[in-house]
Amino acid sequence: MRAASVSRRTRETDVTLSVALDGTGDCTVSTGIGFLDHMLELFARHALIDLSCKVEGDLQVDDHHTAEDTGIALGEAVRKALGDKSGVARYASLDLPMDETLTRVAIDLSGRPFLVFRTVFPTEKVGTFDTELVREFFQAFAMNAGVTLHVETFYGSNSHHIAESCFKGLARALRQASALDAREGGRVPSTKGNL
């Protein structure tokens, strides 16, 4: 199993997180933010990644540090679990429908972190969760996973559905890109010889 664990402790958060890329979608998360827990649970399920995540954050300030540091830790764990990326498919792109919403997510396990995030939320909050933190989470994930990630929502009118389409899209794209490709024969999918 390609797996990794990360511990991240700052004055703002204390994060313990582990992933198994070749899992079944088993998930145990507790971030203190109900909406983020929901997004991480559906991410794990649709990526078929086993995920364990425990976060204690300064929620008395707001949700920002907890959401960002969870994204950092998840990115670091995925990067470590991928190892040298031998035999992976590397690229994936898909359109993810969620009721009235349609979002495209494209990923390259390039080792060159970059995020393009073209998603607009019609409301500032989903429940008590600031929708601007979705982008913060994706930025933290992409930079620390070392992936090139493009997320674009073509249309949608419900902020919950829009966020969910982004997380599910990331899950499915990561699942496809990290899948082992038998035709690669264990090679790193790059003319450079490494990613």
Cross-strand pairs, 163:
none
Binned at pLDDT 50, 70 and 90, residue 34 comes out as very high
Alpha helix locations (H) across 8-158?
34-47, 64-82, 132-145
Whether 24 maps to a domain, the answer reads yes
Inter-CA distances, 171 with 56, 61, 102, 184, Å: 24, 29, 15, 22
Structurally, the chain folds into a number of domains equal to 1
pLDDT (tens digit per residue) in 14-24: 999 999 999 99
Percent of the chain scored above 90 by pLDDT? 98
Whether 190 maps to a domain, the answer reads no
Looking at every residue in the chain, the average pLDDT score rounds to 97
Which residue range is the domain that position 93 belongs to? Answer: 3-184
Whether 100 maps to a domain, the answer reads yes
**Per-residue pLDDT, 8:** 97
- 51 with 43: CB under 8 angstroms? yes
Whether 158 maps to a domain, the answer reads yes
**CATH code for the domain of 50:** 3.30.230.40
Whether 68 maps to a domain, the answer reads yes
CA distance 88 to 71: 22
Whether 192 maps to a domain, the answer reads no
**Per-residue pLDDT, 179:** 98
Whether 193 maps to a domain, the answer reads no
**Per-residue pLDDT, 1:** 83
Mean pLDDT of 16-42: 98
Mean pLDDT of 123-143: 98
Whether 194 maps to a domain, the answer reads no
pLDDT (tens digit per residue) in 41-82: 999 999 999 999 999 999 999 999 999 999 999 999 999 999
